[in-house]
Amino acid sequence: MSGGIDYRVRRSGRARHARVVVSPEGQVEVVLPRRMALRHAEPLVAEKRRWIERTLRRFEAARAAAPVRLEDRGIVPYLGQELTLRVRVEPRRSRVNVARRGEALEVSVATPGPQALRDALERWYRREARAEVEPRLDAATRRAGRRYGALSIRAQRTRWASCSSSGAMSFNWRLLLAPAAVLDYVVEHEVAHLEVPDHSARFWVLVERRCPDYRDHERWLRRHGASLRL
């Protein structure tokens, strides 16, 4: 703890410099290069204290404003829409079931409470994420004249997506809680990495050519990313 801020330290063989990471869940982490002494962590947190506190407040406000109610007749977002939950508790059910009917999401679970509902919905969102991302990724790579490797859907803590040096793509299922235009932008962003692996000026020129309003989507993710939670 430093100045009332709880944090943990993680060493990384890939880190070149010490940095502070604040997750949307409110966890503060100091990432240190593998050979850097632990004593450097606390001064760094003290130096970044105002930024950390400001970021924590922003994430807390975003979570409070999230349009998610995990209950019968509650709502969840889906690519800019709001789906109404229809929840049935069936104690003898061996498998959960989630099915979309228009603007309603019918969920059958064996146990009551938000945790069972959250688990069922996350599994459904993960399946839907692949169905939403894959055609967008195929179309974007065709337009760019590029190819990608494997596609995986994950629940990354601090990233919305990634593109490996081999062209393997990974996307966060929580992007389905954002507007469709934001997902489209993230796909274009990762496809651009197939050509330019870093975030140099050349990369952003390429992104702007393919997604002229990318700055709006970047701002949206910074402001609302913490609310993309169940």
Q: What is the pLDDT of residues 125-182, one digit of tens each?
A: 999 999 999 999 999 999 999 999 999 999 987 799 999 999 999 999 999 999 999 9
pLDDT at 113: 86
- Residues with Cβ within 8 Å of 29's Cβ and at least 6 positions away in sequence, in order, are 7, 8, 9, 10, 20, 21, 22, 23
pLDDT at 194: 97
Q: Which CATH superfamily is domain 75-227 in?
A: Metalloproteases ("zincins"), catalytic domain (3.30.2010.10)
Model confidence pTM above 0.85: no
pLDDT at 173: 97
pLDDT at 65: 61
Q: State CA 138 to chain mean position distance.
A: 21
Closest to 66 (Cα-Cα) out of 148, 177, 141: 177
- pLDDT under 50: residue ranges of the chain: none
Instruction: Work out whether the CA dihedral 171, 183, 213, 217 comes out positive or negative.
Output: negative
Closest to 68 (Cα-Cα) out of 118, 106, 23: 118
pLDDT at 229: 86
Query: Domain coordinates of the chain in residue numbers?
Result: 8-64, 75-227
